[in-house]
Amino acid sequence: MSAEEIEAVDEVTGRYVTVDIGGVEHRVYFEENGPEDGIPLLCQHTAGCNNQEWREVLRDEEITDEFRVIAYDLPYHGKSAPPTSQEWWEEDYSMTGEEFAERIVAIADALELEDPIYMGCSMGGNVSLELADWYPERFRAIIGLEAGAHSPGFYIDWLDHPEVNTTEVNAYSCWGLMAPQGPEHARRETMYHYEQGANGVFKGDLYYYSVDHDYRDKLSGIDASETPLYAINGEYDYLTTPEDARDIAEGVGEGATAMEMADIGHFPMSENPTLFNAYLKEILADVTGERDEALPDTITPEDVGVEVEKVKAGAVSEEAD
Amino acid sequence: MSTTEFASHGWWERYKETVNEDPEMEVRGHDKFDTNFYIEIGDERFLIEMDGGKVEEVVPNPALNNRWEFGVEGDRETWEEFVAETPPAFNHEIIASNYRAAVRNEENRLELTGDNKKIFQNLRAFQRALDLMREAHNDGGGS
């Protein structure tokens, strides 16, 4: 009997794709679920982390009924090992906005995705601005979660220091980015994913996040009239607040939408998957035009029928009214 | 809500018990968390003396004879937000609060002081010790 025929086997599948990035071949790992002809929803993880953050989006039957959800590990993250042709151990890992955007587009190209929706969180949310500026024609819509035009102060030496337990520190410097309303197991798992990052990669990603990325004076140069841009930030995200999302929408103008997610923080898809997936369905319905009304300024658990206390206690949200 | 006033002698006694019985502190702090730190609440300062991952003593108004590596400072209202069962955004965790103070220049936040290297060397155990203030305050209902 093949794995596909066994009921207990998850429908999410993992595979590798060879991606040419600037003339260097990378073996990139991705997981996917959903119909082959579904609308591709390409998911970018947060700094120093990997695609495991998206597992409950990949497993949501309502989402994967319509969308082909694809979550990849950026090179140097998760199962996307550094390229074998490079002597990567001789230099610090560090990423710029140009490199980041190029890698995302190269992965979309290698997978031959037609009109995908891009969705990224944190550094993946920030880069939604570079993508909207430089590659708008490549995407059907661009969703930046926990996005900011500028997010200073998180390029920290202690995150890659020989006298610090960086495995623990890289994770737990992020602990307060999550909202206390999320279930404990999900918040702990989010930190567990963070503990799996390679030395120096979190800090190198944060070079992009806190140093290289600064779109404060460039927002008006983004044309989102053809490819809609969403900036969706959690109430408890202290790095990129809901106010930062509103600033993006205001600065970009036509085609840009901001929304605050109540009771959730900087890692929405993994810190509180039940609540986030309910929020996400509203965003995706807006992208596809299935939603009649504009998205609200702030979306709350009540709006999507989720009882926060039940979810926090580990109950299944779908049982909520 | 606590029947013992926040940061009173009885409150700190319960805090000490909470930390010393915490299974996660055993795992994360191991028996190596020996770094003293202080908590400043408005005009009051309390030195938390750690020994092998346990609170050995809470010393009010520490002076020249005491030593510590780092501390956390904030006004009483901010600390009361921090220990609330469901704390408000940004004062719900120390790195969050300190970021909003240090990088975003906001008032009414908690601020870290002292040796940053020692803070990061002890981050998880120290952070857990602070989160347990909430648990002690809410009779185990927080954190």
Q: What ipTM does the predicted assembly reach?
A: 0.93
Are A244 and A148 spatial neighbours (Cβ–Cβ below 8 Å)? yes
Task: Express each pLDDT in A191-222 by its tens digit.
Answer: 999 999 999 999 999 999 999 999 999 999 99
Whether residue A313 lies within 8 A of chain B, CB to CB, comes out as no
Return the structure tokens found at B124: 């998880």
Are A229 and A142 spatial neighbours (Cβ–Cβ below 8 Å)? yes
Residue B24 has pLDDT above 50, yes or no: yes
Residues on chain B touching A169 (C-beta within 8 angstroms) = 120, 123-124
Residue B51 has pLDDT above 90, yes or no: yes
Task: Express each pLDDT in A37-71 by its tens digit.
Answer: 999 999 999 999 999 999 999 999 999 999 999 99
Task: Express each pLDDT in A157-193 by its tens digit.
Answer: 999 999 999 999 999 999 999 999 999 999 999 999 9
Residue B139 has pLDDT above 90, yes or no: no
Count CB pairs under 8 A between chains A and B.
55
Are A88 and A206 spatial neighbours (Cβ–Cβ below 8 Å)? no
Residues on chain B touching A176 (C-beta within 8 angstroms) = 92-97
Distance CA(B115)–CA(A101), nearest Å, equals 37
pLDDT for the residue A38: 98
Task: Supply the mean pLDDT for chain B.
Answer: 93
Residues on chain A touching B120 (C-beta within 8 angstroms) = 158, 161, 164, 169
Minimal-distance CA residue of chain B relative to A168? B124
Give A106's contacts (C-beta < 8 A, 6+ positions apart): A19, A20, A21
* Confidence tier at B26 by pLDDT (50, 70, 90): confident
Residues on chain B touching A235 (C-beta within 8 angstroms) = 89
Q: B103: which DSSP letter?
A: T
Q: Which has more pLDDT, A228 or B139?
A: A228
Q: Determine whether the interchain pair B93/A176 forms a contact, defined as Cβ–Cβ distance below 8 Å.
A: yes
Q: Determine whether the interchain pair A238/B99 forms a contact, defined as Cβ–Cβ distance below 8 Å.
A: yes
Q: Determine whether the interchain pair B121/A168 forms a contact, defined as Cβ–Cβ distance below 8 Å.
A: no
Burial grade of B107 (CB within 10 A; 0-12, 13-18, 19 or more) = exposed
pLDDT for the residue B65: 95
- The dihedral built from the CA positions of residue B106, B108, B112 and B113, taken in this order, carries a sign that is positive
Segment A8-24 shows an average pLDDT of 96
* Confidence tier at B2 by pLDDT (50, 70, 90): very low
pLDDT for the residue A2: 86
The nearest CA of chain A is from the CA of B143 a distance in Å of 8
Minimal-distance CA residue of chain A relative to B86? A180
Residue B3 has pLDDT above 70, yes or no: no
Q: Per the confidence metrics, is the pTM higher than 0.80?
A: yes
Neighbouring CB atoms inside 10 A of A307's CB total 17
Minimal-distance CA residue of chain B relative to A157? B117
Task: Express each pLDDT in A273-318 by its tens digit.
Answer: 999 999 999 999 999 999 999 999 999 999 999 999 999 998 554 4
Are A249 and A129 spatial neighbours (Cβ–Cβ below 8 Å)? no
Residues on chain A touching B87 (C-beta within 8 angstroms) = 180
Task: Express each pLDDT in B93-129 by its tens digit.
Answer: 999 999 999 999 999 999 999 999 999 999 999 999 9
The nearest CA of chain A is from the CA of B116 a distance in Å of 9
Give A43's contacts (C-beta < 8 A, 6+ positions apart): A51, A54, A57, A69, A70, A71, A72, A119, A120, A124, A269
pLDDT for the residue A5: 87
Query: Considering CB atoms only, which of A153, A163, A169 is closest to B123?
Result: A169
Query: Considering CB atoms only, which of A163, A172, A177 is closest to B127?
Result: A172
In the three-class reduction of DSSP (H, G, I as helix; E, B as strand; rest coil), residue A71 is classed as strand
